[in-house]
Amino acid sequence: MSDVPDNANEHCPGTTSEQAGKTSSCQGCPNQKLCASGATKAPDPAIAEIGLKLSTVTHKILVLSGKGGVGKSTFSAHLAHALASDSTKEVALLDVDICGPSIPRIMGLEGEQVHQSGSGWSPVYVEDNLAVMSIGFLLSSPDDAVIWRGPKKNGMIKQFLRDVDWGELDYLIVDTPPGTSDEHLSIVQYLSSTHVDGAVIITTPQEVSLQDVRKEIRFCQKVKLPIIGVVENMSGFVCPKCKNTSQIFPPTSGGAERMCADLNLPLLGKIPLDPRIARSCDEGKSFFNVVPDSPAAKAYQSIVQSIQDYCSNHVTEEQSTT
């Protein structure tokens, strides 16, 4: 749990629990007196600080996946590239996958470092209007392992949101780790005082992936995080010569389309497999610049347009209710 201190006893109920400091497992814990006083149940002051810090960010989008390896970070990076292709928009990409930060490599920023300024950490810029922040910039080597428990990872996420000098942004894209773990609870908690447009959920067509995505959807519903829609990645392979489509990962249970229909969620689109996407990520280049007319690039562009339309309509709805 995200509210269990590093030095807590085994079976700690959590500092915000009604049983904090009162159960048998609390006996002898160095935090028992503080927890029993009720002080730990007060809201984290960082939540208000983050709300103030991010008040200059118009749209905040989380990218989630139930399972690893479905292309979530690849999608996050290309969503950021696509939004930043409009030079009038300011875009930032935040990587909160603390133990597996791949964004620096995908964005062509490996070896870059974060600099401290009077107004906080300065993000690393890909373009004049595209900023990136990742724990990967704080490691001495891309091969260094981050072996942290939940509270330390949560502290780093708090720092990214509160201490990075994001400036005025039109879009902040948050690339999360797979699953529904501490990082997800923290990002939702810390952004609770801000307006989050919603989450884009990435899956692949096969049932083994969809099974975990349903858990991710339940998580969003439980924490009241709006779902912008679902993207089916690796959805068939279009042969570059004959143009025929082959199903590499067969949608045995109907794929994301069937799942979205059953759960009444928008299917934002299907992105076909294209080896050039993987190659562009390894080389730190935008896939849109490499093969802009490919079926995968066109699918991306359609999905990005749907996300932009959703965000615009969300703002209009909010303005009409205030």
Residue 281 is labelled as binding a ligand: no
Residue 35 is labelled as binding a ligand: yes
Residue 96 is labelled as binding a ligand: no
Residue 260 is labelled as binding a ligand: no
Residue 311 is labelled as binding a ligand: no
Note whether 285 and 305 are within 8 A (CB): no
Q: Which two tokens stand for residue 305?
A: 């347009």
Residue 73 is labelled as binding a ligand: yes
Residue 72 is labelled as binding a ligand: yes
Residue 239 is labelled as binding a ligand: yes
Residue 69 is labelled as binding a ligand: yes
Residue 155 is labelled as binding a ligand: no
SS3 per residue for the chain: CCCCCCCCCCCCCCCCCCCCCCCHHHCCCCCHHHHHCCHHHCCCHHHHHHHHHHHHEEEEEEEEECCCCCCHHHHHHHHHHHHHCCCCCCEEEEECCCCCCCHHHHCCCCCCCCEEECCEEECEEEECCEEEEEHHHHCCCCCCCCCCCHHHHHHHHHHHHHHECCCCEEEEEEECCCCCCHHHHHHHHHCCCCCCCEEEEEECCCHHHHHHHHHHHHHHHHCCCCEEEEEECCCCEECCCCCCEECCCCCCCCHHHHHHHHHCCCEEEECCECHHHHHHHHCCCCHHHHCCCCHHHHHHHHHHHHHHHHHHHHHHHHHHHC
Binding-site residues sit at 12, 26, 29, 35, 66-73, 239, 242
Binding-site residues for [4Fe-4S] cluster sit at 12, 26, 29, 35, 239, 242
Binding-site residues for ATP sit at 66-73
